[in-house]
Amino acid sequence: MTLEAGRRELRGLDWEAAFEEVPRELFLPETMWPDGGSAVSRADDPEGWRRWADANVPIATQWDDGLHTGTDPGQVASSSSSAPSLVFWMFAELSVFDGAKVLEVGTGTGWCAALLSARLGEANVTSVEIDEAVAEVACGALTSAGWHPRLVVGDGLLGWPGGAPYDRILVTAGVRNVPRAWIEQTRPGGVIVMPWGTRYSGQSAVARLVVNGDGTAGGRFSWATRFMHVRSQRLEWPDHEDYLSPGEDWPDGTRRSITGVPVAEVVDESGYEAFDFVLGLLVPECARTYARSPRGVQTMWLYGLADRSWAAVYFDGDSRVYQGGPRSLWDEVEVAYRWWVERGRPGHEEFGLTVTADGRQEVWLGGPSAPVPCAASAVR
């Protein structure tokens, strides 16, 4: 999404004054990592630092839950400032009104909490941050900028009952399971905006859920993006050696085949294609990675997360498939692909999510009466 597209979403929604009043640069650290890349220091490169501060890119501000030191990027970005266009879009989805009470899950740098305070009044804003060090820095930045929303150090998955009920909940980290606390702490008719995804990949889609009086919540996805996930719901990527022994050729019992699924449909290293999202829905408890063989052949690996099923697909012209374990993971992918094509290759915005009163998550296509099936049931 472009910066201008994000601004268009907010025009007429009384946000422009807040964005003029609260520049992002006030909430960025001396050293930061634009787009997760090389570090930029304000002391060493003030012009470059300001240029990146004004750019429409996400900026990592902490690595590895604060354990990382030095200026090289760490392994996992654990706090950041989202790209401005994404913030614009999520605020538009939030559809606030004057005097609305908002809970933000994930204070991060404090920029969003300041924007919410400028738009709604700081007395109406509560922000929860799990990392005490991150919260302390955000508090300092907010105070310096003249804003004093309620800041809480705690697990955002629990919400903050002290400020409930809320009219809106804004979640700034990806989740795979929607906590009951968020629904219980939102007024009937209130809205939860959050990035939601499966364990298949790092891709998320932003969901806008409306909370109902019966304890359920539901709504559509709007667009695909990538967010760092809440810490307790991060995906720990499978260790290849737990599935295949080092140096081992294909083990006995390996099932071999050729696939007709086009490489362009499934090999998407950027992680933003619609089918990547659909695979996570129809092929549950599965994670995928990409690799290249020593000969440069693009390879896709699938790992079962509930068992030791695996599959490897070599997109080398013949599109050779090897799979083993209790599940035939690639067969499930082919079922999912046919399902998706037969329905006209629907994008994220045609899917939605319902959270039932007992906490089950049901993804649907078009409407709640058309739940997305599990591909595994078609290959047993």
pLDDT digits (tens, 9 = 90+) for 317-349: 788 999 999 999 999 999 999 999 999 999 889
Q: Which pLDDT score, from 0 to 100, does residue 271 have? A: 45
Q: Say if CB 108 and CB 128 are below 8 A apart.
A: no
Q: Do the Cβ atoms of 6 and 31 come closer than 8 Å?
A: no
Residue 3 — pLDDT band, cuts 50, 70, 90? Answer: low
Contact partners, residue 328, CB within 8 Å, separation at least 6: 255, 309, 311, 379
**Dihedral pair phi/psi, residue 37, rounded to 5°:** -100, -140
**Rounded average pLDDT over 182-191:** 98
Residue 200 lies in a domain: no
Residue 352 counted as domain residue: no
Prior bond of 294 cis (ω within 30°): no
Structure-model confidence comparison of residues 191 and 20, the more confident one: 191
Q: How far is 113 from 22, CA to CA, in rounded Å?
A: 10
Residue 12 shares a structural domain with residue 120: yes
Same domain (yes/no): 154, 271: no
Is 193 contained in some domain?
Answer: no
Q: How far apart are CA 206 and CA 221, in angstroms?
A: 5
In a domain, 35, yes or no: yes
Q: Are 256 and 321 in contact (CB under 8 A)?
A: yes
- Is residue 139 located within the same domain as residue 288? no
Cβ atoms < 10 Å from Cβ of 379: 14
Given 114, 141, 172, which residue is the final one in a domain?
172
Half-sphere exposure of 7 (CA within 13 A, CB side): 9
The least confident of 109-123, 259-273, 293-307 is 259-273
Q: Which of 172, 194, 227 is the last residue of a domain?
A: 172
Is 245's pLDDT higher than 60? yes
Reported as a single tens digit per residue, the pLDDT across 362-380 is 999 999 999 999 877 766 5
Residue 9 has pLDDT above 80, yes or no: no
Specify the residue for token string 């509560």: 126
253 and 132 within one domain: no
Measured in degrees and rounded to the nearest 5, phi and psi for residue 376 equal -60, -30
- Please give the share of the chain, as a percent, with pLDDT higher than 70: 93
Q: Is the pLDDT of residue 197 over 80?
A: yes
Handedness of CA 191, 194, 199, 204 (dihedral sign): positive
**pLDDT value of position 161:** 98
Q: Residues 307, 168: one domain?
A: no
Q: Measured between alpha carbons, how far is 364 from 371 in angstroms, rounded to an integer?
A: 4
- What are the phi and psi torsion angles at 185 (to 5°)? -95, 5
Are 18 and 119 contained in the same domain? yes
Whether residue 380 lies inside any domain: the answer is: no
Alpha helix segments (H runs only) across the chain: 3-10, 16-21, 46-53, 84-94, 111-120, 132-145, 180-184, 263-266, 274-282, 329-342
Average pLDDT over residues 291-310: 86
Residue 299 is predicted with a pLDDT of 87
Establish whether 377 is a catalytic residue.
no
CATH number, position 29 = 3.40.50.150
| Residue in 78, 80, 81, 82 annotated catalytic | 82
What is the three-class DSSP state of 285? coil
Looking at the domain assignment, is residue 219 inside a domain? Answer: no
Phi, psi of 119 (to 5 degrees): -85, -40
81-117: per-residue pLDDT in tens? 999 989 998 999 999 999 999 999 999 999 999 999 9
Name the residue range of residue 270's domain. 240-342
Instruction: Give me the percent of the chain exceeding a pLDDT of 90.
Output: 69
Widest distance between CA atoms in the chain: 67
Domain assignment present for 353:
no
Q: Inter-axis angle of helices 84-94 and 111-120, to 10 degrees?
A: 40
The answer to whether residues 159 and 299 belong to one domain is: no
At residue 12, the pLDDT reads: 58
Are 262 and 133 within one domain? no
pLDDT above 50 for 163? yes
8 and 155 part of one domain: yes
Name the band, by pLDDT with cuts 50, 70 and 90, for residue 242.
confident
Residues 6+ apart with CB under 8 A from 17: 118, 119
Domain boundary among 136, 153, 172: 172
CA–CA–CA angle 356, 204, 55 (5° rounding): 135
- What is the four-CA torsion angle of 126, 129, 134, 136, rounded to 10 degrees? 50
What's the domain count of the chain? 2
**CB of 18 within 8 A of CB of 118?**
yes
Q: Answer yes or no: is 377 within a domain.
A: no
- 268 with 166, same domain? no
Please count the other Cβ atoms lying within 10 Å of the Cβ belonging to residue 135: 20
User: Predicted confidence band at 7 (pLDDT cuts at 50, 70, 90)?
Assistant: low
77 pLDDT more than 80: yes
Q: Are strands 125-129 and 102-105 parallel, antiparallel or unpaired?
A: parallel
